[in-house]
Amino acid sequence: MTNQAQSSAPIAAATVSAYTSGRRRFPAQGVPVFHRVNRLGLWTLYMKEVRRFFKVQTQTIWAPAVTTLLYLMIFTLAMGRGNRMVLGVPFATFVAPGLIAMGMINNAFANSSFSFLAGKIQGTIIDYLMPPLSEGELMLGLIGAAVTRAVFVGLAVAAAMALWPGVSLHVTHWWAVVWFGLNGAILLAIIGLLTSLWAEKFDHNAAITNFVITPLSMLSGTFYVISNLAPTFQAISRANPIFYVISGFRYGFLGQSDIGSTNQAVLHGAIGLGVVNLVIGVVTYLVLRSGWKLKS
């Protein structure tokens, strides 16, 4: 028996050596290998995140719609009196598309910035890291759910605003509404996911919301045209990516925009927004793949 074991050992070693010396190699120990897209796992994660915010839809969908409608009411009463016209339309019609876009992007950020952070605080982060999902699939599921929430909020806000006196939501360019609406939601969803990777407590998340996202949203031309600003502040506004989301989304309704006086300028803004999403998405993917602040 001893001689048989000794004689089989070189054979096994030779077999492994021959296998690893060919085209196929064994993966390193502990390194997962994904050969195909895990469609079932991706769909399960997406539906989990959608059901999570849908179970509390009063807070996640209808409350933001009411808050945005209050913005419309307050600013219309304060700044829209006397039949004030902006870009050739009544002030209420001018400000409504920007408020819809702002509601969408803010809720996309709120949704994606909660997942990993809540998991780290509650000790359930393993529920995201343990399933056989690649980093790309994990990102796609979380961002997809955030964009879904943004779309629901946008539809709810638009339905409420359509009943508001003096507001017209006639769509002039559907491509701009879809492109800037979805890419704006994707942009804030990616930033929210990156925030949840970095944050270690809810105060960190609130700091990003209060000192970064809210100022960028409020100073993005939602309530005014940037041509009324001094040249320096116009340049600052054009460096704000949310400005292109708001102005491009408004262009889809009004056919006019702060981005530029030509359709080509709006198209350049659309391409630029897509490039920004791609760059930030790659950065977030690399951070997620590194396991930074997720794996000890």
pLDDT of residue 8: 45
pLDDT of residue 35: 63
- 105 closest CA partner among 208, 199, 213, 179: 213
* C-alpha to C-alpha distance for 37 and 32, rounded to whole angstroms: 13
* C-alpha to C-alpha distance for 127 and 60, rounded to whole angstroms: 22
* Residue 90 per-residue DSSP state: E
- pTM here is 0.85
Amino acid at 236: I
Tokens of 274: 């897509």
Contact 138, 45 (CB under 8 A): yes
Tokens of 92: 């209420």
pLDDT of residue 33: 61
What sections of the chain are H helices per DSSP? Answer: 2-21, 39-54, 57, 63-79, 91-112, 115-122, 126-129, 135-162, 174-198, 202-208, 214-218, 231-238, 241-254, 263-290
Contacts of 223 (CB under 8 A, 6+ apart): 75, 79, 95, 98
Q: pLDDT tens digits, the chain, 296 residues: what are they?
A: 444 444 444 444 444 444 444 455 656 666 666 567 889 999 999 999 999 999 999 999 999 999 998 998 888 887 756 578 888 888 889 999 999 999 999 999 999 999 889 888 888 888 898 888 999 999 999 999 999 999 999 999 999 888 888 788 989 999 999 999 999 999 999 999 999 999 999 999 999 999 999 999 988 988 888 888 888 988 988 999 999 999 999 999 999 888 876 788 899 999 999 999 999 999 999 999 998 888 75
Contact 114, 188 (CB under 8 A): no
What sections of 200-262 are H helices per DSSP? Answer: 202-208, 214-218, 231-238, 241-254
* C-alpha to C-alpha distance for 208 and 210, rounded to whole angstroms: 6
Burial class, 53, CB count within 10 angstroms (exposed 0-12 / middle 13-18 / buried 19+): buried
pLDDT of residue 1: 45
* C-alpha to C-alpha distance for 268 and 258, rounded to whole angstroms: 13
Entry field: residues in the chain: 296
144: β partners:
none
